[in-house]
Structure 1
Amino acid sequence: MFRFLSKSLAASLVLAGAAVLAAPPRAWRQEVVVAGSPFQGVHGLVVDGKGRLLASNLLGQTVHSVDLKTGAVSTLVGPPLGGADDVTLGPDGSVYWTGYFTGQLMRRSPDGRTRVIARGLPGLNSLAFRGDGRLYATQLGAADVLWEVDPNGKKPPRKVIDGPGFLNGFEFGPDDKLYGPLLLKGQIARIDVDTGGIEPVAQGFAMPTAVNFDARREHLYVVDAARGELVRVRLPSGDKEVVTTLPTGLDNLAVGPDDQVYVSNMVDNDIRVVNPAGGSVRVLVEARLSVPSGIAVAPDDPDERVYVADVYALRQVGGLDGKIHQTDRVLSSPTNFPMNVSVSALHVVRSTSYLGGHSSVQVLERATGKLLRTLPNANGVQGVVELADGTLILAEGATGRLVRVDTAEPAVTTVLAEGLEGPVGLAADTDATEPGVYVTEVRSGKVTRVRLSDGARRTVARGLKGPEGIARHPDGGLFVAEVGRKQLVRIDPATGRSTVVASKLRIGLPESAPFPPGYLPTGVAVGRSGTVYLTSDIESALYRFVPEP
């Protein structure tokens, strides 16, 4: 049984200070801070008529099957082929899904064979079959196009409409017209795919992301991601009725034959079931984190709150009790898609390498969470460190550079070092005689120290396999997530000697284009007690490693 680290033990370790941590402990006790989830953000849904719900998992690169009675989740298609933003079923029972980042439309036939039926469509998002068996899919973000795609992949896709207004999760009605949300217009539209004609059905939504017809195929259910609303739209009038209000971040929905509405929430990484007759809600699949990546712990925090860059939210998790204290969510706030985070005395800095118009670095006031600065950067920013004067050091995974960003408005960026092979994690070493930063290079397998005064580099350790997250420990060691070997290691920065702290860890999803090296980084942070925290992208969990006396 895993045990939580008590506050009394944490306090004793802090008070003992260097006397306790002068030498590295010989053993570490692994504990669960936040238990895992089967998803890494859940998106498209479809009921298969066999008591199961198919659910797409874009960042986890998986298509799942969910038992509608028990909520048990199994994997239908695993990584890397299963990277799905939306999923549907064909007339013959084949499963089809869209790869938003890969630009591929995939098909898994009933005999279990998986193949690509269309490619070269970045931003491929939603799809649905018309009653006559014709298949349609949209590009969203990278382009704004509705396509007809050959379900067998023998003919090239045919462009139906260019620029409909970011058509998202759609469905065909009994009139063979396509009904779906236009994100740029905040409306639900009806589209004639034969003529290209578009007419509004209902308006006044904040961010409608998907629609489905009810079981009798008379009216539409709509999810509004920004407001967290499930809305019933009556046809043909277009009158709207809020069925229930859920947490923001709703992504998609599916309606069962009994008219129960299954709703996915990518921010909370869960699936809920709504009974539209009375608006009651129950959780079918529950989660507490979505895609935990980079993490940070303030060295002056006795409670060891862990800031978690959870991709769809920035969360604070109690390192000692596992409670989630605060959530800053995408879609309903100006939050970017945080993949890395660092904490200074006054600020929290989050960065993202998400490639979809959201790549940026954001500086928050630590005491209030107020957003102070947003710095666009399309170079795949991974690790970030704030220096005492407010200067930022960024690791650009796509360019192989460390860059310095000053506090001026507009900010001035200068190159500190270049030629790094996949820089991912950063750890400050600013109290040294010659201040510097440690950086992990996921491609070369090195930990490198870069001097802040002139960018001079020194190799600290080599021969690692896929090093990502890194943090300095009070005992002087560097703790690194060696993702390629599924282990957490301690590195002596003076000798480069590496010691395994824990192995056979569930870390390291396969990289996915077009993300820079490191994909979803495995985060490492250290609390003032000497406890080491680590994220699991595969399990969507947060762990800690407590030094044994």
Structure 2
Amino acid sequence: MTRFLSNTLAAGLLLVGGQALSAPPPAYKQEVVVAGSPFQGVHGLALDGKGHLLASNLLGQSVHSIDLSNGAVSTLVGPPLGGADDVALGPDGSIYWTGFFSGQLMRRTPEGKTRVIAKDLPGLNSLAFRRDGRLYVTQLGRGADVLSEVDPNGRKPPRKILSGHGFLNGFEFGPDDRLYGPLLMKGQVVRIDVDAGTLEPVAQGFAMPVAANFDASRENLYVLDSVLGQLVRVRVATGEKTVVAKLPTGLDNLTVGPDDQVYVSNMVDNDIHVVTPADGSIRKLVEARLSVPSGLALAPDDPDENLYVADVYALRRVGGRDGKISQTARVLSSRMTFPMHVSLGAKHVVLSSAYLAAVQVLDRTSGEVLRTIPNTNGVQGVLELADGTLLVAEGTTGRLVRVEAAEAAGSTVLTEGLEGPVGLVADTEAKEPGVYVTEVRSGRVTRVRLSDGARSTVAKGLKAPEGLARHPDGGLIVAEVGRKQLVRIDPATGRSTVIASGLRIGLPESGGFPPGYIPTGVAVGQSGTIYLSSDMESALYRFVPESAPVTGKAQP
């Protein structure tokens, strides 16, 4: 079947109920709103010495190779094995990478054989080889703050060296065989004797240092400050600091070439820059426009159909008609926590994040974070009702929780027993107000009555339904991720009709996330145009009814 329904397809395809709808839906034309990227937030970097840059892609679960001559990106290891926060090259040419969510250390030999070297290391983050071939890794977050030595061949268990030191991130061994790296929580760059298990400061006064590597002389460190967006040169002997270049905030990692070219990854902008320290010049090696687009929302009364995009590392506004992007907030440099879902209330933007286990309420005008509500139960979709009450779908527990507008009032369980709830959309104008929920595990769309939590099945037989939105005609638009398609469901009959198929949606689920992983977002404008996020492509698409074309030109 083609990627979208052709204008000759009159009646649609039925998945539930077995009968045609009384009025066939329109045919849709698929268009690009924002073009994609090879990454879903790029992180660790390493040079292979053969004209290529290795790059790790944590949420995209892949390891990539980038041709330094032209920026072309190829995939070395795809999902699910390639979930890498950092990457390094071993003495024999093997590639090693750390699985932050999986807790696994992986190795790919020059012959292409991939296997697990170590496991059960939650928050596995950075890694580096010593000159003698010994391998060291850190665990950072997810309840861990540990530096360990790991057998590169996986024959011996990891040996803990330090713990509770303040989140040691991207590091490198110096000419003195000491480990040099930043402590995120202390704003320091330190030197660690891995044999004695001791550390001492080298430089201080950073906002959030995230990575440090030596220059060719081995006398200076280049340090990234993620919050300030700075590349800083530190003279090791004195701790003297010099800002070499100013970059966008959200910097994640770096590596330095033999010619002192510094390659810098930015997870928020999903791109890689090359900095020439001699003159501070900056050029892009790999560009992107979105990072990890997931949840979508737009105001039903907005004629321009401006979308709020939960881009995991940022909250962005995207013009649905022209694809122009404006920044609303970026992680690390703001109080916002890695948004994966977004919904709109009359005065608020509500975000939820399974990544950092929180729900946040933002002022819709100023963007100020008004309230942060921790939730470690795999929070997925979230809605704000007219009275300020929040409804939160807990993907891990299968509950729909009501969080009162008054913080002191706490929360109550509206219903439980849902099988991987992900998407939510309100049905509050009905005689008995309720909310529709997609259940990614059961393949159902369920309606939950707000008065008592009673549940009724609207549609079943779907495969991994995630994103959910209400069409102006009352129909439900669902991203059916398991079949890579977009469907319309009649809430009165449960009948389902395919709008588009063959879509690039649905990364494999990853450990540490609730059912649904990175949700595929759906939103519908008053024109009837349907918007869809693609996690696999880091892109944004629209599906325009052929009877009502969208004006404006999308951005490449």
Q: TM-score range by the shorter chain?
A: over 0.9
Q: Report the aligned-residue RMSD.
A: 1.1
The secondary structure found in structure 1 opposite 2:70 is coil
Counterpart check, 1:495 vs 2:493: yes
Partner residue in 2 for 1:78: 78
Q: Quote the residue 1:19 is aligned against.
A: none
Q: Distance in 2 between matches of 1:164 and 1:390?
A: 41
Structure 1 residue 195 corresponds to structure 2 residue 193? no
Segments of structure 1 that go 5 or more residues without pairing to the other structure are: 3-21
Match of 1:58 in 2: 58
Equivalent-residue separation in structure 2 for 1:343 and 1:105 (angstroms): 40
Displacement after TM superposition at 1:164 (Å): 2.2
Aligned to 2:537: 539
Residue 385 in structure 1 maps to residue 383 in structure 2: yes
Displacement, 1:24? Answer: 5.4
- 1:403 maps onto 2:401 in alignment: yes
The answer to whether 1:372 aligns with 2:370 is yes
Residue of structure 1 equivalent to 2:6: none
Output the amino acid matched with 2:126: S
The aligned length equals 526
Taking the aligned partners of 2:58 and 2:545, their CA distance within structure 1 comes to 36
Q: CA distance change for structure 1 residues 23 and 344 in 2, over 3 Å: closer, same or farther? A: farther
Question: TM-score by structure 1 length?
Answer: 0.95
Aligned residue number for residue 527 of structure 1 = 525
Partner residue in 1 for 2:423: 425
Matching of residues 233-312 of structure 1 within 5 Å: 233-312=234-313
Paired residue for 1:225? 226
* 3-state DSSP of counterpart to 2:186: coil
1:261-302: CA deviations, max 9, x gaps? Answer: 000000000000000000000011001110001110111111
C-alpha displacement of 1:235: 2.0
The residue that corresponds to 1:120 in the other structure is 120
TM-score of the superposed pair, with normalisation by structure 2: 0.93
Q: Secondary structure at the match of 2:146?
A: strand
Distance 1:325 1:132 in 2: 48
Amino acid of the residue matched to residue 61 of structure 1? Q
The 5-angstrom pairing of residues 32-181 of structure 1 reads 32-141=32-141, 142-181=143-182
Q: Deviations over 1:429-474 (max 9, x none)?
A: 1111111100000000000011111111110000000000000101
Aligned to 1:476: 474
Q: 2: distance between equivalents of 1:155 and 1:368?
A: 53
Residue identity opposite 1:360 in structure 2: A
2:474 and 2:250 map into 1 onto residues whose CA distance is 41
Residue 149 of structure 2 contacts residue 161 of structure 2 at CA under 8 Å; is this kept in 1?
Answer: yes
Give 1:26's aligned residue: 26
Structure number with the bigger relative contact order (C-alpha 8 A, sep ≥ 6) is 2
Counterpart of 1:91 in structure 2: which amino acid? P
Q: CA deviation at 1:411?
A: 4.2
Distance 2:253 2:287 in 1: 16
| Residue aligned with 2:482, SS | helix
Q: Distance in 2 between matches of 1:23 and 1:218?
A: 73
What is the DSSP-based 3-state SS (H/G/I as helix, E as strand, rest coil) of the residue aligned with 1:394? strand
Q: Is the 8 A contact 1:380 1:396 kept in 2?
A: yes
Which AA in structure 2 matches 1:316?
R
2:461 to 433, 442, 463: 463
Residue identity matched to 1:465: K
Q: Is the 8 A contact 2:328 2:367 kept in 1?
A: no
- Matched position secondary structure for 1:40: coil
Q: Distance in 1 between matches of 2:135 and 2:274?
A: 27
- Between the aligned partners of 2:361 and 2:25, the Cα distance in structure 1 is 36
Mapped to 2, the partners of 1:217 and 1:481 lie a distance apart of 52
**1:204-215 equivalences in 2 (<5 Å):** 204-215=205-216
Worse-matched range after superposition: 159-168 or 303-312: 159-168
Range with bigger deviation, 359-368 or 313-322: 359-368
